[in-house]
Structure 1
């Protein structure tokens, strides 16, 4: 594990809220903690560098070091114990869809009760265990196929049997096997567990794959088998509860948020929404690497003072030669505006990308990390902290849940996403601090509001601000956050969208724990993985997941522009499309700017227009009177259209040549109700702001927009 690392139990708060900090320190001496305000988190020596201001805090001081454990793996357990006193014989059964049958060296538990367990042994062999007696079925189970699996203990307690029947695919059934019991262990009351065994607060033998309808039957005094427990995973689908439909009502709890609303053994393909046919979605997909809440104990806390300015802060910790920072965002008191400008921080996107282990990471990148004294750790080398929704589970199923309740390496000051190319290689939080540093350099006061407040408080969170500005990549949104932004814009608000690939994916917030987010990568879009057929609807809220475009809300409807193309972390420039004689409605954007080429420089890939690009399209919701004041050009060969824009190998959705669609449009329009929108359409735009001490044509364009939008 990383020698010193930590996280906060919340990413944002208002005065009066308390934030708990959880630290794992392997040092033999105490670690120290202090508070800083973050201005810039780019370690590139060619830019402003890491800029932080010390802030007094009551938690500053020393704390004992301790190593806090990581306990990955999702599973379930009954709330109470199952008592089968007097039973004669026993049967455990479940429908299973295993996903790791060959490449694991440990057994995987399907269902367990005390010393009794139905397992999947290495090599895909189904096995039964009662105490020290083990019997394996003859023939392996195949991955990604459904089986009805069972084990039984005879009524006289002398014979242990196990077997499985294939469902629906016509494969050869593993032959059942039996073995004599040497001694029957005591079957005392015990909890029932599914997808893992649990002993003395720890879990082991976690199952990978889907499980449906786990049940336990018992023979009572020689009578016919009687149902003792049957968990129906199709019930209370959006919760972490598991419901027992048996006579004892032995309900249970899920741990580490396995994926629910999964197609089960009876799914026919006739219904794609679990709400319409819940009985066909009675499976839960468990993984041995699910980790969304590390559950660490709190080392110190901070109650946000009333007089602390809104901004980005971090608890800085140090122990010996090791350092870490735990960022958090401070919003103003609820209902109070301390500045005219609101910076909307995309914490949902940060969490969805949390611990993204890039597939193109190579250790050679670390030479740049070391030379710049950048953040030294990378998720590609430390997957034990749980990966992002841009990665796969160990069984190659896509990760559909994200959370900040664990250390997130890419949410650290100085973290470099890329170790190649021009500029700093920043994304997300560190890249967004280019805007924060610019605001400080220009003396523009601001409040911070995150999409968490926007989701929970709606339009009230941003009402009254003269302007709302986004960061570089506001990609992931709930219906509530989009509604709030739409209402703000259409009631006279002024929106400044400084990113690319924004307002793109629909996510859901867990109804029991708002720190857990869900993404279903359904049909369409540039996807790190593709959801299984029939699994496009969120379990958390029952809504159709995937692109907002496929739910009738393309980004163009809000910001005037939307995702069009993506390439490697490379950037180009904009060429002005309006000259000095342009209509006065748009000419003010370039006041004091004589250049035709805008942003052929910058700390993000060397230019203001790069990596992910948005363009205007009236058919997707761009206003008829939108003014595209500049467009990018000269993008490299790595840039491609996003899949939803490419119909065939020779045709595109807009009907234009694909070459014309690979561009970022810088645009302006007036919205209903007197609102205004300025959008740049590029993830790398903010990286050009610090160039030449914040004095450049990109900076001037933004300052023109900002000063106008902040006017009375």
Structure 2
């Protein structure tokens, strides 16, 4: 257990707004809260180190420790009308189990804690199970199986307490599979009537308490009937999951209006029993997508209460901040970002914080975590907790659920361990600090601080909400190292800024790559569908390329007609291990129009040192391609070279084992292009095409060729009349 941990209700805010901070502390003593500004988050003793500045705030102070619990795993809950006859119940659903190594994975549960009654229908390792619990004990019936993974079955159960009889069965929806059936006599039971405490759960058991025995797989058309078969007062509850696919609500079509709610956001917009492949979009044929996929590790909103609130003063400085929680030797840092008031910038530079990317990588468990990186964490005094070891808050869209399916929904209303100052992503022996995302981006923040550049920040979330107005006032806009994930709104905000004469510095690699969706009605969550190509750790199932949250086609922006080259001039071309290389100046860089970029930069090569991959060009590389929308007037001023043999071309570039879409050989596509161009609207564009570029900025106390080159660009972009 992590002794003290927390999160804010949002990752960003503006002066005059308030952020609530939720803390769980298993410690006995009160904890101290201190607001800090994050200048550098790199724990490497050979780099700038961890640098925080304490800030006065009304919320600073001591707060009592209290433990706030969270139970992962998705399910649905619905009410049961008071007075419902519980003496005769029929349960039915279509199910596709995904895990065969779990017992008592609950499909449907109905219970009334007030009278000690519970009935659960479950998929077991050995078949289908039915469990009846009352104050007098528990009885169980099993229909031998097994129910095989990734196959649809119709499961049914009937319980008649008056007749002391139960019946249980399952049958496959595909011919050729075995079915199962069982009957049993139960002990004498008195007639039961539901009280106000009665309820129903779908895909989890233990109604009224902490959810347990989660189902892993798909459920369609769950149905419960009460008091039927000649008994007076019979009612039917039946939920149609094809309705409200873009919501967290389930609709009862049985006549009682016992509509329910989804907890911890299982996956919707997935194919059900009726899908034939004739339609690929759930909006066109929702009846084909009448299933919901539940997982035992789904995580949406932890639901913790606020421990304290930060009312952001109206004159508060825009920047990168965290609330430091400290109790004895234990501490945590809850990150957040404050943008300037909309339309009233505090600086001429704006750094866009890639919070959508942070969320999609949030709590990323990596395959290479182990004793070696733990030793480095201890040696460097780095953040001591890693989501590969502490998985209670879910994982990232780069991880898999226990049933082997990809995680497509990620939340920011939970602690994100890898958004902590001092967090190490990977060991990277001999290759610098081993940082990515938040901590790697702090190399840029620290560089701006060292060079005396004042800057505002704005988050991707704020771009999505506020659109182009969020960037319009700024003389120049800088990205961070890896702005990979974007909604249509946030991508549009960048494009409008450039088209209107803005000056954009794209300082990363593999940016503007995946399309994601957020919801207007379900706060705190984003969705990705890894459709049709791209570098990816899992692939969306056939027929499931459309987001559930907004109904739009997912996957690569390139596949949707908006390749990153059309915005930044370069786009993802190659990926390798965390080994960086250098850039070499090209002949065109000596042209009078662009040679000022290299003032003070000595030699033909630069960027051969760095805290990210030991070089400015590494890990993920972008290249110039007119065929994909790169501006024809752009000048490629430098190109990386001498990359390690581990680098490969991205899948979307490959046609066969020897040919590519561009017509060039695969080896010719493994490089980063650094470009500059003036835009037709009077603005300018500078792109570096590498994820590790900013890692070279802090070398030699920020005095190096890479740093000088970027300083030349930023000062030129800030100059009036240029």
In structure 1, the residue matched to 2:173 is 167
1:453 aligns with 2:462: yes
Q: Rate the CA distance shift 1:83–1:688 in 2: closer, same or farther, 3 A.
A: same
CA contact (8 A) 1:366 1:419 kept: no
Q: 2:124 & 2:225 partners in 1: Cα distance?
A: 26
In structure 2, the residue matched to 1:110 is 107
The CA deviation at 1:646 is 1.5
CA contact (8 A) 1:88 1:222 kept: no
In structure 1, the residue matched to 2:556 is 547
Q: TM-score, normalised by structure 2?
A: 0.95
In structure 2, the residue matched to 1:188 is 193
In structure 2, the residue matched to 1:96 is 95
In structure 2, the residue matched to 1:55 is 55
Q: 2:174 & 2:451 partners in 1: Cα distance?
A: 66
CA contact (8 A) 1:42 1:431 kept: yes
In structure 1, the residue matched to 2:415 is 407
Q: Rate the CA distance shift 1:125–1:308 in 2: closer, same or farther, 3 A.
A: same
CA contact (8 A) 2:92 2:155 kept: yes
Q: 1:605 & 1:330 partners in 2: Cα distance?
A: 30
Q: Which residues of structure 1 form unaligned runs of 5+?
A: none
In structure 2, the residue matched to 1:436 is 445
1:78 aligns with 2:78: yes
Q: C-alpha root-mean-square deviation of aligned residues, in Å?
A: 1.7
Q: Deviations over 1:276-304 (max 9, x none)?
A: 11000000001111112111121111111
CA contact (8 A) 1:365 1:420 kept: no
In structure 1, the residue matched to 2:114 is none
Alignment of 1:208-607 (within 5 A): 208-220=216-228, 222=230, 228-421=236-429, 422-578=431-587, 582-607=590-615
In structure 2, the residue matched to 1:149 is 155
CA contact (8 A) 1:89 1:157 kept: no
In structure 2, the residue matched to 1:619 is 627
Q: 2:649 & 2:189 partners in 1: Cα distance?
A: 65
Q: 2:700 & 2:460 partners in 1: Cα distance?
A: 32
The CA deviation at 1:653 is 1.6
Q: Rate the CA distance shift 1:65–1:156 in 2: closer, same or farther, 3 A.
A: closer
Q: Secondary structure at the match of 1:350?
A: helix
In structure 2, the residue matched to 1:15 is 15
In structure 1, the residue matched to 2:26 is 26
Q: Rate the CA distance shift 1:80–1:303 in 2: closer, same or farther, 3 A.
A: farther
CA contact (8 A) 2:110 2:120 kept: no
The CA deviation at 1:224 is 11
CA contact (8 A) 1:130 1:185 kept: no
The CA deviation at 1:31 is 1.0
2:141 to 123, 135, 141: 135
Q: 1:186 & 1:314 partners in 2: Cα distance?
A: 57
Q: Which residues of structure 2 form unaligned runs of 5+?
A: 112-116
In structure 2, the residue matched to 1:3 is 3
Q: 1:353 & 1:473 partners in 2: Cα distance?
A: 11
CA contact (8 A) 1:494 1:677 kept: yes
Q: 1:81 & 1:569 partners in 2: Cα distance?
A: 58
Q: Which moved more, 1:691-700 or 1:128-137?
A: 128-137
Q: Rate the CA distance shift 1:342–1:659 in 2: closer, same or farther, 3 A.
A: same
Q: Deviations over 1:528-559 (max 9, x none)?
A: 11111111100000001111111111111110
CA contact (8 A) 2:428 2:613 kept: no
Q: Rate the CA distance shift 1:339–1:188 in 2: closer, same or farther, 3 A.
A: same
The CA deviation at 1:124 is 4.2
The CA deviation at 1:79 is 4.1
The CA deviation at 1:395 is 1.2
In structure 2, the residue matched to 1:178 is 183
Q: Which moved more, 1:571-580 or 1:401-410?
A: 571-580
Q: TM-score, normalised by structure 1?
A: 0.97
Q: Deviations over 1:65-113 (max 9, x none)?
A: 122212111111114536433x7743100000011122x2x41111122
2:121 to 101, 110, 119: 119
Q: Secondary structure at the match of 2:467?
A: helix
CA contact (8 A) 2:201 2:207 kept: no
Q: 2:201 & 2:187 partners in 1: Cα distance?
A: 25
Q: 1:78 & 1:68 partners in 2: Cα distance?
A: 24
Q: 2:302 & 2:681 partners in 1: Cα distance?
A: 46
Q: Rate the CA distance shift 1:488–1:169 in 2: closer, same or farther, 3 A.
A: farther
Aligned residues: 707
In structure 1, the residue matched to 2:711 is 703
Q: 2:620 & 2:240 partners in 1: Cα distance?
A: 44
